[in-house]
Structure 1
Amino acid sequence: MTTSPAAGSEAGVRYAQDGPVATVTLDRPDVLNAQTPAMWSELTDISRKMPGDVRVVIVRGEGRAFSAGLDLSVARGDGDSSLPVLARLSPEECADRIAGFQDAFTWLRRPSLVTIAAVQGHAIGAGFQLALNCDMRVLADDARFSMAEVTLGLVPDLGGTKRLTELVGPSRALEICLTGRRIPADEADRIGLATAVVPRAELDGAVNDLAAAIVAADAGAVAEIKALLAGAPPRTYDEQDRAEREAQTRRLRDLTGQE
Structure 2
Amino acid sequence: MSLLDQDGVRVTVHDAVATITLTHPERRNAQTPAMWHALAEAGRRLTGDIRVVVLRAEGVSFSAGLDRRALTPEGIEGQLSLFELAGRPAAERDATIAGYQEAFTWWRRPDLVSIAAVQGHAIGAGFQLALACDLRVCAEDAQFAMRETSLGLVPDLGGTHPLVTLVGYARALEICATGRAVRAAEAERLGLANLVVPADQLAAATDDLAAALLAAPRGALIETKALLRAATGNDYDTQRAAERAAQGRRLTDLAGLD
The residue aligned with 2:217 is 218
Aligned pair partner of 1:22 in 18, 24, 29: 18
Instruction: Specify the code of the residue in structure 2 equivalent to 1:82.
Output: S
Give 1:49-68 correspondences, 5 Å limit.
Answer: 49-68=45-64
Q: What SS does the aligned partner of 1:148 have? A: coil
How far apart, in 2, do the equivalents of 1:230 and 1:3 lie?
31
Give 1:141-156 correspondences, 5 Å limit.
Answer: 141-156=140-155
The residue aligned with 2:251 is 252
How far apart, in 2, do the equivalents of 1:257 and 1:133 lie?
35
How far apart, in 2, do the equivalents of 1:117 and 1:238 lie?
33
The residue aligned with 2:114 is 115
How far apart, in 2, do the equivalents of 1:81 and 1:164 lie?
28
How far apart, in 2, do the equivalents of 1:80 and 1:23 lie?
26
How far apart, in 2, do the equivalents of 1:251 and 1:233 lie?
22
The residue aligned with 2:67 is 71
How far apart, in 2, do the equivalents of 1:235 and 1:15 lie?
35
Per the TM alignment, residue 4 of structure 1 is displaced from its structure 2 partner at its CA by: 2.7
The residue aligned with 2:133 is 134
Instruction: Specify the code of the residue in structure 1 equivalent to 2:19.
Output: T
Residue by residue, what CA displacement relative to the aligned partner does 1:33-72 show, whole Å, maximum 9, x if unpaired? Answer: 0001111111111111112200100011101010000001
The residue aligned with 1:174 is 173
Do 2:34 and 2:79's aligned partners in 1 also have CA atoms closer than 8 Å? no
Do 1:75 and 1:81's aligned partners in 2 also have CA atoms closer than 8 Å? no
Q: What SS does the aligned partner of 2:21 have? A: strand
Instruction: Specify the code of the residue in structure 2 equivalent to 1:211.
Output: A
How far apart, in 2, do the equivalents of 1:211 and 1:252 lie?
26
The residue aligned with 1:40 is 36
Do 2:139 and 2:199's aligned partners in 1 also have CA atoms closer than 8 Å? yes
Q: What SS does the aligned partner of 1:45 have? A: helix
The residue aligned with 1:207 is 206
How far apart, in 1, do the equivalents of 2:35 and 2:136 lie?
21
The residue aligned with 1:188 is 187
Aligned pair partner of 2:27 in 5, 25, 31: 31
Q: What SS does the aligned partner of 2:148 have? A: helix
How far apart, in 2, do the equivalents of 1:64 and 1:258 lie?
51
- Structure 2 gaps of 5+ residues are none
Per the TM alignment, residue 80 of structure 1 is displaced from its structure 2 partner at its CA by: 4.4
Instruction: Specify the code of the residue in structure 2 equivalent to 1:32.
Output: R
- Structure 1 gaps of 5+ residues are none
Per the TM alignment, residue 152 of structure 1 is displaced from its structure 2 partner at its CA by: 1.4
Residue by residue, what CA displacement relative to the aligned partner does 1:57-103 show, whole Å, maximum 9, x if unpaired? Answer: 00111010100000011332345421111101111110100000000
Give 1:155-170 correspondences, 5 Å limit.
Answer: 155-170=154-169
- Identity, % of aligned positions: 56
**TM (normalized to structure 1)?**
0.96
How far apart, in 2, do the equivalents of 1:124 and 1:80 lie?
21
Q: What SS does the aligned partner of 1:4 have? A: strand
**TM (normalized to structure 2)?**
0.97
Instruction: Specify the code of the residue in structure 1 equivalent to 2:221.
Output: V
CA RMSD of aligned residues (A): 1.0
Select between 172-181 and 74-83 the one with higher mean Cα deviation.
Answer: 74-83
Residue by residue, what CA displacement relative to the aligned partner does 1:176-195 show, whole Å, maximum 9, x if unpaired? Answer: 01011111000101111110
Per the TM alignment, residue 234 of structure 1 is displaced from its structure 2 partner at its CA by: 1.7
